[in-house]
Structure formats: structure tokens, C-alpha cells
Chains A and B, each alone.
Chain A
Amino acid sequence: GQNIDQPTEMTATEGAIVQINCTYQTSGFNGLFWYQQHAGEAPTFLSYNVLDGLEEKGRFSSFLSRSKGYSYLLLKELQMKDSASYLCAVRDRNGGFKTIFGAGTRLFVKA
């Protein structure tokens, strides 16, 4: 089966850097996604990693280590609007590319 773990909540200060970790266990890893979800809104796609290494996209970066079953999302120059839940999701090629979501990390950005 699959298992995805990420911290429940994190708090950081405006302008700072925060790293949200995600560990996973899956038998047929085929990609890892990060989504952002503001309260009361739909999740929106942030990043996709399928090979080891760092993918940078503006203030957001995502890292993957397949051998360790580990990813992190790095948010730089935090803004108040970054307060949201961040969902880690793993796609498994077994069973037809099913994507399983973690419970999400609620990030609070304070002034």
C-alpha cells in the first residue's frame, strides 16, 4: 500500500524561508506532486518531481530523493498570502497511475 507523512502544522514569519517535508512509501513510484490549498478553495498544482533533485519555480522549490522516499517544498520570502495547506501527493504506476494525497500541512505565516 501507500503511506504519505507530512507535518500537520507549521508557523513561519513573513519574509522568512520554510521547508515542508514529506515522506512516502509506495511500491511503484511514478512522480510526486505538491499542491497549495487555501481555506475554502480548491487545491492548485505547484510542482512535479519524478527524478531526484531540485526543481525551482520562482519563490517555490521542490526536492525529491527517490532512494529515501523523501521530498520537501521550500518557500522563500514568505508572504502572508502563502498561509494555506500544502498537500504532498504521490503517483503510483500500479493500478493505473493512481495519485494518493497526504493529509496536508497547514502553514501559518505571521507578520
Chain B
Amino acid sequence: ETGVTQTPRHLVMGMTNKKSLKCEQHLGHNAMYWYKQSAKKPLELMFVYNFKEQTENNSVPSRFSPECPNSSHLFLHLHTLQPEDSALYLCASSQVLPRTGELYGYTFGSGTRLTVV
């Protein structure tokens, strides 16, 4: 496999369910991200992991819980979500250079289309 792989592609869950989204990157990048994309709204940064350490938590509700066990894998654990959390959840990775940031942008996965009922 190449690039950034996200599973599942589609997920329907009830408000009391617990589920997890998975992201895996095969690019040797050192940073991974979770973004939320809702209709007609900008991509919203949720979490950033740099060298496996969480460096950003963009005021995300605690019902979203990220996990980054190594530099290639990223999870988003979901618990007691609300209908307004229905959106496309995108994982991305990049190679961050220490002083300049990433030079080649992000590589995004295909996303998980989440519907909360």
C-alpha cells in the first residue's frame, strides 16, 4: 500500500456507540493530523502529532480522543457523539523540517464519512 490509508470509508453510528477511525501512512512522514470537513465549511484542524507527540489540540470536545502509537499510525476514538459531528474526517501526514515546517504540503487520506444518528 502507498500513501495515506483511512478505514473505514463510511461509518454510521448511534450517539451511544464507541467506534474508532484508523489512519496509516506509508510515506515515512513524521507528522500526522486529523481534520474535520463539514459541508461548505473550511477544513477544521483537530489534532496534530509531531514525532508521535500531540502538539495541537484545537479545542476539540473530549468525545473525540486521538491516539498515535507510532509515527505511521493514527487513531481517532469516538464516544457519545452528537448528530452535528457528522462530517468527513480526513487524516493527513507530512514531513516537517525542524526550522521551516513542511515544504511539500500534506498528503491526505480518502477520509471517513461519518454519520451520527
Contacts and interface: CB of A to CB of B under 8 A. Distances in A.
B101 A103 contact: no
A103 B42 contact: yes
B111 interface: yes
Interface of A: 4, 30-31, 33, 35, 41-45, 48, 87, 89, 91, 93, 95-104
Nearest to A102: B42
B97 to A, nearest CB: 9
What are the nearest 8 A-B pairs in CB distance? A45-B105, A97-B101, A42-B108, A101-B43, A103-B42, A101-B42, A33-B105, A42-B110
A99 B56 contact: no
Contacts of B101: 30-31, 91, 93, 97
Interface in B24-54: 35, 40-43, 45, 48, 50
Nearest to B108: A42
B48 A98 contact: yes
Interface of B: 4, 35, 40-43, 45, 48, 50, 55-56, 90, 96, 100-111
A82 B90 CA distance: 22
Contacts of A95: 56
Contacts of B35: 101
A109 B50 CA distance: 39
B40 A103 contact: yes
A97 B41 contact: no
Contacts of A103: 40-42
Given A4-B42, A42-B90, A97 B108 contact: no
